Structure 1
Amino acid sequence: MAGFGRRPKRPAREAPEHDGPADPAADPESVARTICLNLLSVRARTRAELAKELARRDVEDDVAATVLDRLVEVHLLDDAAFAEQWVDSRHRHRGLGRRALSQELRTKGVESEVASAALDELGDDAERSKAAELVRKRLPSLDRVEPPVAARRLVGMLARKGYGAGLAYEVVKTEMAARGAELEDEVDGLEGDDEVAAGRR
């Protein structure tokens, strides 16, 4: 017998009705909050970054402000902590100096006072030490290059990473001297050199 042992199909049940609206767009704050939490689950963000993304998704300014304020209250959004972590990570892993870090924080929308406080945590000794480390790593590849040319390339490398010209040249001169390469006086003032300004390697 066809169909023996099979239960007759029951008519499909209709989806239960919800008390609230089914469309999440009807709750703008919930939508905005979800957008922010999804972004924060990937990596830390600044308030400006989240605000920009909410604006891109047509979230009203007042709604965005309410959600962002709440995230700050519950410590899920903290520009000061973000800046400190950013400076520490980018300095240690990418070897960036204060100038480059300041520019990056500005791009992220971190206020100048907050950025300055984070950069102050990066002491002069730490910046000098990292610059020297970068130069020492590069020096072996320049052993056959004339000292003035090598110095220009090294200072240019440090300049691109955000180190001031004075610090860069001082570190380069010291590290080259340690390898027996003395620089002549005419090499001073490399910050104005065309090669450095052009960012050549």
Structure 2
Amino acid sequence: MLCDDSQPAGPERSDSRGVGSGGGTAEQAKDVCLRLLAVRARSRAELVQHLTAKGYPPEVSDRALDRLTEVGLIDDAAFAEQWVHSRHTFSGKGKQALALELRRKGVAQSDVAPALAAITDDDEESRAADLVRRKLRSLPRDLDRDKTIRRLVGMLARRGYGQSTAYRVVKAELAGHGAEDDLVDPFD
């Protein structure tokens, strides 16, 4: 069998996008990033992860990402602000959950802190109260008061609200619904 030396065989062959075990060009890496950024904003670390998984060498990835940063398409501080606003407003996430999500996305603490500072304690309590009111509508009316409190506080804790904030909001909302009778605050 004759072998054509113009095309490498096996793992050295590139895939349909021109990226193989040897990596690709900065232009190709930039195109990959642009496709990802067209779907949603991403942190620089997320883009590095995608490029690494596709086989781009670090120096090629860095050139592409540096160029995208220069033109303002990659900005971790803006990404963090957008993520916090969106996830707090639409998903009801608390500051603790948002900080964890941003850490997992590779955003530096120096970009996370100002983004989280945009959520005031009043904003967080107001959003938590909305979540509790919505959940109260779906809980059985005959559910034991202690179980109701545990479920509501647990729901808020899973969404990243601090325990004292969660209990304070639950207590206030239950008081508004006439279920405050002899509630004992474990944090007093």
- Aligned match of 1:45: 42
Relative distance call for 1:27 and 1:76 in structure 2 (3 A) is: same
| Corresponding position of 1:124 | 121
Residue in 1 aligned with 2:94?
A: 97
Partner of 1:16: none
Alignment of 1:64-75 (within 5 A): 64-75=61-72
RMSD of equivalent CA atoms: 1.8
TM-score (norm 2): 0.83
Distance 1:184 1:94 in 2: 32
TM-score, with structure 1 as normaliser = 0.78
Equivalent residues, number = 167
Query: Does the aligned pair in 2 maintain the 1:148–1:187 contact within 8 Å?
Result: no
Q: Is the 8 A contact 1:148 1:183 kept in 2?
A: no
Which of the residues 25, 29, 33 maps onto 1:32?
Answer: 29
The percentage of counterpart residues that share the same residue type is 49
- The reply on whether 1:59 has 2:50 as its aligned counterpart is no
| Residue-by-residue CA offset, 1:25-68 (whole Å, 9 max, x unaligned) | 69611111111111111111110011111111111111111111
Secondary structure of the 1:181 match is: coil
Structure 1: give runs of 5+ residues left out of the alignment.
1-22, 190-201
Instruction: Tell whether the 8 Å contact from 2:80 to 2:112 is kept in structure 1 after alignment.
Output: yes
Match of 1:145?
143
8 A Cα contact 1:46 1:79, kept in partner: yes
3-state secondary structure, aligned to 1:145: coil
8 A Cα contact 1:147 1:182, kept in partner: no
Q: Distance in 2 between the 1:31 and 1:138 partners?
A: 48
What amino acid does structure 2 have at the position aligned with 1:159? A
Off by >3 Å, runs of 4+ in structure 1: 23-27, 183-187
